[in-house]
Amino acid sequence: MNKNNNNGQRALFTTKIGVIATTVGSAVGLGNIWRFPYEAGSNGGGAFMLCYILFIFIIGIPVLCAEFIMGRGTRSNIFGAYRKLSAGKWYIAGFMGIVASITIISFYSVVAGWICEYFVRSVSGELNMATSVEYHKAFEEFSTGNWHPVIWTLVFLALNFLILIRGVTKGIERMSNILMPLLFLLLVVFCINSLSLDRAAEGLAFLFHPDFSKITPQVLLSAMGQAFFSLSLGLGCMTTYASYFSRDTRLGRAAVTTAGLDTLVAILAGVIVFPAVFSFGMSPQAGPTLVFEVLPAIFHSLPGGVVWSSLFFFLLILASLTSTISMSEISIVFMVEELKIKRRTATFVNTAIAMILGSLCALSFGVLDNMTIFGMTIFNFFDYLSSNILLPIGGMIAAIFVGWVADKRFVKAQMTDNADSTPRLFPLLVFCLRFIAPVGIALVFLNSIGII
Residues that bind ligand TRP (CB under 6 A): 26-27, 29-32, 104, 229-230, 232, 235, 237, 323, 326-327, 391
Report, in Å, the least distance between residue 442 CB and ligand TRP. Answer: 20
Residue closer to ligand TRP, measured from CB, 215 or 327: 327
Pairwise CA distance, residues 425 & 423, whole Å: 5
Helix (H) or strand (E) holding 80: helix 78-85
Report, in Å, the least distance between residue 31 CB and ligand TRP. Answer: 2
Q: Indicate the residue whose CB is closest to ligand TRP.
A: 31
DSSP conformation letters of 327-363: HHHHHHHHHHHHS---HHHHHHHHHHHHHHHHHHHHH
Pairwise CA distance, residues 302 & 298, whole Å: 7
Pairwise CA distance, residues 362 & 153, whole Å: 7
Report, in Å, the least distance between residue 398 CB and ligand TRP. Answer: 12
CA–centroid distance for 297 within its chain: 25
Report, in Å, the least distance between residue 23 CB and ligand TRP. Answer: 10
For the packed helices 132-143 and 148-165, what is the interaxial angle rounded to 10 degrees? 70
Report, in Å, the least distance between residue 119 CB and ligand TRP. Answer: 17
Residue closer to ligand TRP, measured from CB, 104 or 360: 104
Closest CA to 398 of 63, 85, 23: 63
Residue closer to ligand TRP, measured from CB, 265 or 282: 265
The upper half-sphere exposure of residue 99, i.e. CA atoms within 13 Å in the direction of its Cβ, equals 14
Residue closer to ligand TRP, measured from CB, 19 or 30: 30
Residue closer to ligand TRP, measured from CB, 132 or 232: 232
Report, in Å, the least distance between residue 154 CB and ligand TRP. Answer: 20
Closest CA to 417 of 213, 224, 246: 246
Report, in Å, the least distance between residue 424 CB and ligand TRP. Answer: 29
Helix (H) or strand (E) holding 373: strand 372-373
**DSSP secondary structure code for residue 198 in this structure:** T
Residue closer to ligand TRP, measured from CB, 19 or 215: 19
Residue closer to ligand TRP, measured from CB, 138 or 265: 265
Report, in angstroms and rounded to the nearest whole number, the Rg of the chain calculated over CA atoms.
21
